[in-house]
Structure 1
Amino acid sequence: MKTIPPGSTIGILGGGQLGRMTALAAARLGYRCHIYASEADPPAALVAAAHTEAGFDDAAALDRFAQAVDVVTLEWENVPAWTVERLAERVPVRPGAGVLAVCQERVAEKRFVAGLGIGVTRFAPVPDERALPGAIAEAGLPAVMKTTRLGYDGKGQTALRDAAGAGEALDRIGGGPAILEAMVDFAFEFSVVTVRGLDGSVASFDPVENRHANHVLAETLAPAPITAAQRVEAVRIAERIAVALDLVGVLGVEMFLARDGRILVNELAPRPHNSGHWTMDACACCQFEQLVRAVCGLPLGSTTRHHDAIMTNLLGDDVLGWPAILAEPGARLHLYGKAEARPGRKMGHVNRLFPIGQRPDR
């Protein structure tokens, strides 16, 4: 195992807020970051040492990028496999193309997790409209129909409550291919952010509850209101998936706690996760520093939670409340440097910390 020492350059595919916060964490450890993104002025580039503005299909730009960095990671899992494979011929890429092959396609992801003997929602692939009757019989109704690729924060998905509306529902999300997932009677959604190092070591943050508004994460509450046994099981599930993927980096595992007590995996994200932002202020080592440590072959940091926390996303015009947040004792404000506040757009977040066991909602 070759350690990539401080002073080296980390290449990051994608220029959004996750890349920005990774670059800030890397700088604290003495690394430079080079952002590769198609935008002219992405949030991550504002805090990085270098920025390549080019498409993910630009072979010449990718080759130059590979020559300028010592390792590559990503802040967005939908980077084309070809891009990762080309870079990997020239420089280590962590996580690699094999991880993305599973996590970029929802049917493959569900089959992978189910193949490990881990619970998932009932599902069925919908390659085209002709497959709808069989998919409905397999998954059942009511259900959620999702595109198999892309789609996030509620985009690329629609509810399906009766078979008569199936064709129209498929049209609403682009006509397929799609996946049909049975709706789950769940108490709440929660997640585990886990990290796996280059040496195979694994560490996880405490499970956290996630609350949404209009399909976008609004709040994360750390820790989640689950039993000690459920906590152990949730962490075991996340770490087992990370090991099975042979992941090097950070993995966000979204789960449901069903009302009958079962834990079901919903989706995977092989990168820092929005529900892990609370770790920036409430843990000994945050998810972004853990990513840097993992991809550079450094020892993983402690995931110990020293405070309870509530993370609140600042969506759209919520960001205009920054003066009041800055005046609030104990509030930790993180802004992403985005120029335009659109409805539902993640402009920043705020972490509010509480002594262990004294979070006001508990």
Structure 2
Amino acid sequence: MKKSTANHMHRKRRKNNLTWLFALLGILVLFLGTILAFLIFSELSSKSAETVQEVSAVNVEKDIPETDMGDLIYHEPAAENIVMQGGFGYVNNELLVTLDSSDSLSALKDYVRTIGGEVVGEIPVTADYQILLPDTHTQEELDQMIEQLKALPYVRRSSLNYAFELENDAISGSSAYYPNDKKWDDWSGNSGNNWNMKAIDAPGAWVYRDQMQPVNVGVIDSIFYPYHEDLKDVFQEMPLGNASAMKNQGLDTQKANWSEKGHATHVSGTIGAEFDNKKGICGVASNAKLYGVDWSDSPLYRIIDGKKPIFGDGSNMYCMKIAMLYLVIEKQCQVINISQSAFGVEVRCNASKNNDDAINAINKFNEEFA
């Protein structure tokens, strides 16, 4: 009886030992399998990443092709042919020509061959061409050639190929000038009142403000307020038609007591508000001389009685002629700003729907001001 019990206990311990042995073996196998699976996965991931990088590199190469200038052709002038005088100069063996049409290119080439030159650059869409001459010339000699080119019936204009010397810091944008006008707030961020000046890098241009020549700028708009603190010394005279318009609205033309500023005043300030006066803002052009024409509420649009205006707010074609002639001929303005649609929405819409009257009005306008 005792022997049987002992045998039974021995078999039970042996069974327990085998159970633990198999459990340990199972844990070991599971551990080794986990390590093996991890190594295999890592290898596959590495290869996958390499494949992705290779594909990505191929895609980038495909997505960023070589720059294509299309029909544009540019000839780089040789450094020894650039004549500089105080940061400004010209290329002494080149001329620039604009034709009435790219169809006249063959005629230009025939002429250029007679003086030993050739067309080496072109912008067909605007009929602009770069001419290389066989020899170098003085500016006076080039000016004579320019006049001869201008005399050709198919040449619209011709000029020297001007050259400009830029400082390295100006190119990189590290050189800038910031005016002290009080409403210009933050020049470091992308917001604020002066975001538009930063967008066009006006501070980079203002570095050269002392080299900028005076420019006469004409503004055709609604009623002006020429007494504004930022404009009173910029306007060269009372804008044409403005005094009558002010009187019609009961405004004093002699006293600076008008609180309403208006669109024309805003436009004028954007162009030429006084620079560095610690007031308001400054205009884009630091040396602009402003002349204006008010055609919104003045006798200008009443000059031709009985003719229906083609513009939506009372202005008409003859009024525009007066404004243009006054600013360009009388005041010699090199730049004109017109904050106005050439035609009312109704005229443009009707023309798009093949309305004969609207189309004739637009064609007439194009003939008059081409």
TM-score, normalised via structure 2 length: 0.23
Greater helix percent: which structure? Answer: 2
Greater strand percent: which structure? Answer: 1
| Greater relative contact order (Cα < 8 A, sep 6+) | 1
TM-score, normalised via structure 1 length: 0.23
